[in-house]
Structure formats: C-alpha cells, structure tokens
Amino acid sequence: MIGKFLRGNCLDCPANRAHAEQPVETGTRVYSVALAGNPNTGKSTVFNALTGLRQHTGNWPGKTVTRAEGRFSRGGAIYQLVDLPGTYSLLSASTDEEIARDFILFGEPDCTVVVVDATALERNLNLVFQVMEITDKVVVCVNLMDEARRTGIEVDVDRLSEELGVPAVGTVASSGEGLDDLVAAISGVIQGQIVTSPKIPAPPAAATALVDDLVPRIRALYPDLRNARWIAYRLIEGDYRIRQALMSGELAGLGQRQAGSP
C-alpha cells in the first residue's frame, strides 16, 4: 500500500533503462559513465561541458527525479554520461538518493565520477566514500576550484588522490579548466591504465566479525555479486530497498544481465 507509490515502474528504473540503451554499434565500444555528487557542486555544469548539451542547472527537491544522458568520445571510444540526481549520501532511500544508488549499484557503470565542491571538501567526501564502497572504478572531480581560490581555499588534489586511492582532478567546469585531465582520468580508469585501490575507513570493530560471517552467506546465494560486503552492511542496517532486492532475486541479475530473467 505504501510501497506502491514510491517504487516506480521497473521499466523506468535507471538500472533497466541503461541496459536497454547499451551499445549496439559494432567496433567502438560505448562505456557508461555515471556522474554523482552533492547538490550545488556544479555537477550539471560538468555534464554540459563534457557533452555539449544544455541540461538545466537549477536545484530543488523534485527536479532530481529526472536524469540526463549525453555522449562524448575520446581516443576512439564513446562514453555515455549519465547525470544522476544530486545527493548527500547513498545510505538512505529517498526517491532521489535511490535513483543515484540504484544506478551505481545495479546499472554498474564502467566508471563513476563523483563531483565534489572544492570549497566544502570535507562535507563532500562522505559521498565519495559511499561510492567507493560500491565500486572501485571511481574518479573524483574537485570542481569550483575558482571559487575556492577566491575564498582563499587551496586544495592539494594530488595529495587527495593519494589519500583516497582513486584519481582526483581539479576543475572549473564553467570555464573548461581541467576537463581534459578529467576525461583522461575517466578513460584511464576504464581502460585499466590507472589502477585504483580505494581506501575506505574501517567499519566499527565490533561489527566486523558479524559482517565477515554474513558475507560468505551472501556470496553463496549470489556468487556473481561484486560488493557482497556492502550488501551485508545494508542488510544489518535493515535497508528496505536492499532487502527487497534480495528477496526478489534482483541482486542475482548483477553480472548476468543477458539472461533476461526478472
């Protein structure tokens, strides 16, 4: 009764749509790249700058339900860029956060770019960690570098990259500064020239053993699952959406899409 109105039509769900739009072209492969980030980090500006599209860049609750897609090419490869709703976290399941999370989790993009605000790095890192928990194919785009400079904030992007274990690139999307480096990092991560090893903070010690116990059980049920540990955390928290995905067998779809089962 409650569930009905919040779960949309499954066919509209980003995870499925992304699949329907997978490449049919021969020769060149189309890679999917997700664009995540907090609201007001200039995410849509990055999207516009890369794709040449003119996606509206306002931000208020409700706008987020739709998401934009566009393409750009580099070095013979085509990249399908998906602009996800701006969210502070992926832990909960509000409609906008759910869309973002489902795409990263079930849509399995070849690379996820997390756009962060250079003037509020600390607050923005939270989302970076959460994305890194799900996937290691991550590039951090430190945007609004000009605003940071103006307010006397200096971000050591190389050091950040080192600390996170994934590439970080400083950009000013509105002027195009750093976008070439961003694209290079995206393609590097996808092609394997850049090897990422995300450094994620260790979970509370007390829980580790219990989680360790849960992970093999999940793996036994879903052998193809890449992020069983992440699923284990969510199950322990009682995450509604993940429980549902587990029961419905939706999780099984990960890694074996072509089977075409529900």
Partner 1 sequence: MSTDPADNSPAKAGQDRASDAEELLRHADAVREEIGGERFRDELVTTLFQHAEDIASQTVRRHKRRLWLPGERIDRVVTHPLLGIPVMAVLFAAVFWITIVGANVPSAFLAGLLMAEGGLTGWFSEYLGIEAPTILGTSLYELLHMLFAALHAPAWLSGFVIDGVYLGLAWVVSVMLPPMAIFFPLFTLLEDLGYLPRVAFNLDWLFKRAGAHGKQALTMMMGFGCNAAGVIACRVIDSPRERLIAILTNVFVPCNGRFPTLIAVSTIFFGGMVAQANPFAASLVATAAVVGVVVIGVITTLIVSWALSRTILRGEPSAFILELPPYRRPNVLRILYTSLIDRTFFVLMRAIIVAAPAGGIIWLMANLNVGELSISAHVYSFLDPFGHLLGLDGILLLSFIIAIPANEIVMPTAIMLYLSKTRMIELEGAELGAILTDHGWTLLTAVCLMLFSLLHNPCGTTIWTIWRETRSARWTLFGALMPLALAIVVCGVVATAVRLVIGVAA
Tracing tokens 């756009």 back to the chain, one arrives at 115
Report the residue number, 27 or 204, with the smaller CB distance to partner 1. 204
Choose between 50 and 254: whose C-beta lies nearer to partner 1.
Answer: 254
Smallest separation, CB 112 to partner 1 (Å): 17
Q: Which is nearer to partner 1, 52 or 203 (CB)?
A: 203
Question: 7 in the Ramachandran plot: left (φ > 0), alpha (ψ -120 to 50) or beta?
Answer: beta
Closest approach, Cβ 119 to partner 1, in A, equals: 9
> Hunting for tokens 């200096």 — which residue is that?
154
Residues within the interface to partner 1 (CB under 8 A): 1-6, 61-62, 65, 88-89, 91-97, 121-123, 125-126, 129-130, 151-157, 159-160, 163-164, 201-204, 206-207, 210, 213-214, 217-218, 220-221, 223-224, 232-233, 235-238, 240, 243, 246-247, 249, 252, 255-256, 259, 261
Q: At what angle do helices 228-237 and 240-248 cross, to 10 degrees?
A: 120
DSSP calls for 49-117: HHH---------TTGGGS-EEEEEEETTEEEEEEEPPP-S-SSS--HHHHHHHHHHHHS--SEEEEEEE
Query: Residue 126 Cβ, how far from partner 1 at the closest point, in Å?
Result: 6
User: Strands across the sheet with 68-74, in order?
Assistant: 68-74, 77-83, 30-37, 111-117, 138-143, 168-170
Whose Cβ is closer to partner 1: residue 195's or residue 210's?
210
Q: Residue 21 CB, nearest distance to partner 1 (Å)?
A: 23
Nearer to partner 1, 17 or 257 (CB): 257
